[in-house]
A and B are shown apart, each in its own frame.
Chain A
Amino acid sequence: VSIRVLAGYLGGIALGTMSVTLLFLGMRAVMDVGGACAEGGPYVSAQPCPDGVPIAMFGGMIGMFAAAGLIVWFGSQIGKRAASVVALGWPALFLSLGLNFLEYALYPPDAEPAPVWGWLIPGVLFWVMGGAPLAVGLLAWREARAGRPGNRLTRQVVTSVPSKAVVFGSGVSTRRPAEPARIEFAPGAWGAPRPAASEGFNSPGGDDRASAPSDLVDDLTRLAELHEAGDLTDDEFATAKRERLEADKP
């Protein structure tokens, strides 16, 4: 990784947090004067904007997009995980701006009675919009770190996103499960299985071989992903691949 790439990447991060800070402070300045401001044009607004707010808001918005571009552009040259940091921009924006709404709703600057519903509702909405993806992303990240395939919720979310757009971390597999979970009946435990279950595609002791090829492909794909992500060395990858292929021979 060259210095140029690293500098561009870190510059993108700094530009991103700078932009969110400008939006955060600009929003507070506008809320301090009642929540809206405008000037110029055919109608003269009763509420001119505080100094610096137009530049802060406009620059902050442009800067957010530019920062996301820099982080993805340079981050992808460092690695998937570096690029995936851009996903934190969404919760950063909505949680910080939502914090403004919530604070002003619960502690209004003038003598209004709290809570101010007009600010409380967008505040809660912003926190849901920022917090829900963050929570799911953190869950998926934790599962991926532990080497687990993820729980039902994280798999559902991650597999519903096209594979290249997944930014939750390099370890999360984006493959759909190869087959639906099997329902196994222990003999006698729950009584005899119904005919439909015992004679259908779930028939016990039946077609185990039929699913072997796709399992093999899945496992090899997963190994290749781990290798590509740098979690497996060349040697480990070769060994694991050989063992997996051996294991599949009848």
Chain B
Amino acid sequence: VTERLNRALPLLIIGAGLIGIWLGATIFASIS
């Protein structure tokens, strides 16, 4: 499990980062 996680982690990080950017843009669009 640890090895699979290690291999998947970079993708998970990029995915989480992109979701964060999308969230930020959506929130800003809704409050401005």
Contacts and interface: CB of A to CB of B under 8 A. Distances in A.
Contacts of B9: 78, 82
B18 to A, nearest CB: 7
Contacts of B17: 13-14, 16-17
B32 A14 contact: no
Nearest to B2: A1
B20 A18 contact: yes
Interface stretch (A49-57, A196-204, A220-228): A49-57
A21 B16 contact: no
A10 B16 CA distance: 6
A229 to B, nearest CB: 11
A151 to B, nearest CB: 25
A29 B31 CA distance: 12
A95 interface: no
Interface in A20-76: 20-22, 24-26, 29, 50-53, 55-56, 60
A105 to B, nearest CB: 23
Nearest to B13: A13
A28 B31 CA distance: 15
Interface residues of A, number: 29
A52 B20 contact: no
A173 interface: no
B25 A25 contact: yes
A106 B21 CA distance: 25
A52 B31 contact: yes
Contact of B32 (A16, A53, A85): A53
Contacts of B19: 14, 17
Contact of B24 (A10, A22, A55): A22
Contact of B21 (A17, A55, A79): A17
14 contacts: A10-B16, A14-B19, A14-B20, A16-B20, A17-B17, A19-B24, A21-B21, A25-B24, A25-B25, A25-B28, A51-B31, A52-B32, A78-B5, A78-B9
Interface of A: 1, 6, 10-11, 13-22, 24-26, 29, 50-53, 55-56, 60, 78-79, 82, 85
Given A18-B23, A21-B20, 13 more contacts: A6-B12, A10-B13, A13-B13, A13-B17, A17-B18, A21-B23, A25-B24, A50-B32, A51-B31, A52-B31, A78-B5, A78-B9, A82-B9
Interface of B: 1-2, 5-6, 9, 12-13, 15-21, 23-25, 27-28, 31-32
